[in-house]
Amino acid sequence: MSNALVGIRPTPVEVPSVVHAVARRLRSGATVVPVWRNEYGGLTVRLEETCTRRSSYLKWVPHGAACPDPLAEADRLVWAASFAPVPRVLDVGRDARGSWLLTAAVEIGGAVAASAIEPRWRRLAQRAAVAIGIGLRRFHDALPTDTCPFVRTAETRVAALTAAPTAPLGTAQRATTPLALESPPPVDRAVVCHGDATVPNTLLDHVGRFAAHVDIGDMGVADRWSDIAVTTRSVTRRYGPGLEPLVLAAYGVAPDHERTTYYRALWDAEETRRAS
């Protein structure tokens, strides 16, 4: 058990033995510190090497989980690393129970960058909100759409939602999900979107400046509002109301009610599908 977890289901958490086994294989002698449990059974632990004082992050996801495969995320990290600050991939693998991704801890000026979800940023929420807006804009400006091999447009997401489900959908869900979403608003600006641009997935330096993004398993070319709509909502949910104008100003864009509403609804429909 550990009290270090800052994830969705709070402390304490028991690290499954398979994660310990993978951790031992990858970094023998490292201390395993759980940092995040996602909603689909995935677990991220920090591996702290006492000898070298280096840290790395191991994300383990069981097979069949309704979240991006760590191997697909590794492909995106390797591509994105030429353009934007994202963690360096150290190792990937899979076995009979799941797959995993090992990344180096992001360091800025010799200090390890930390997630904007850490409790200390709630007291400095305005600063963090600005950093999150700046970071998202940098990501969108830096990654080239013309050579990006990954696509995540509204159309591809709606098509995935309407595709034959693994478990049968109820009649009401089948009728309402696609109808509300099948006409996306016209694209404002196509960029390489992060795909899960939330507070926990943004890393800040020790004084609260943007440092890096993590968790880009859903990265792909799409309208920038598919990220912005999710980022602003995440800031409100994690820090409290009133900060969305700061995020938008830091990003450098005026509010767009229609696209924000659409992309939040699309996100919610995907969440509902994943939970079913």
Ligand X SMILES: Nc1ncnc2c1ncn2[C@@H]1O[C@H](COP(=O)(O)OP(=O)(O)OP(=O)(O)O)[C@@H](O)[C@H]1O
Decide whether 215 or 256 has the Cβ nearer to Mg ion.
215
- In 10 A of CB 172, how many CB atoms? 8
Distance from C-alpha of 127 to C-alpha of 216, rounded to nearest angstrom: 23
- C-beta of residue 192 within 8 angstroms of C-beta of residue 219: yes
38 or 231, CB closer to ligand X? 38
225 binds ligand X (CB under 6 A): no
Nearer to ligand X, 68 or 133 (CB): 68
Given ligand X, Mg ion, none, residue 225, with its beta carbon under 5 to 8 Å by kind, binds: none
Angle (deg, nearest 10), helices 125-142 and 225-239? 160
Residue 244 binds ligand X, judged by CB under 6 A: no
Shortest distance, position 20 Cβ to ligand X, whole Å: 17
Residue 149, C-beta contacts closer than 8 angstroms, at least 6 positions apart: 79
Min separation Cβ 187 and ligand X, Å: 25
Can you tell me the distance from the alpha carbon of 152 to that of 237, in angstroms, rounded to the nearest whole number?
A: 24
Examine residue 215 and tell whether it contacts Mg ion (CB under 5 A). Answer: yes
Q: What distance in Å separates the CA atoms of residue 189 and residue 26, rounded to the nearest whole number?
A: 41
Total site size for Mg ion, rule CB under 5 A: 2
Establish if 36 lies at the interface with ligand X (CB under 6 A).
Answer: yes
d(CA 3, CA 13): 7
38 binds ligand X (CB under 6 A): yes
Stretch that binds ligand X, among 77-85, 99-107, 148-156, 224-232 (CB under 6 A): 99-107
**Which whole-number Å values give the CA distances from 212 to 6, 15, 23, 70, in the listed order?**
18, 26, 24, 18
Pick one of 22, 67, 131, 197: the residue that binds ligand X (CB under 6 A): 67
Under the binding rule (CB under 6 A), the answer on residue 200 touching ligand X is yes
CA geometry: angle 250, 35, 216, nearest 5 deg: 50
User: Is 201 a residue that touches Mg ion (CB under 5 A)?
Assistant: yes
Catalog residues that contact ligand X under the rule CB under 6 A.
Answer: 35-36, 38, 42, 44, 57, 59, 67, 87, 103-106, 115, 196, 200-201, 203, 214-215
Catalog residues that contact Mg ion under the rule CB under 5 A.
Answer: 201, 215
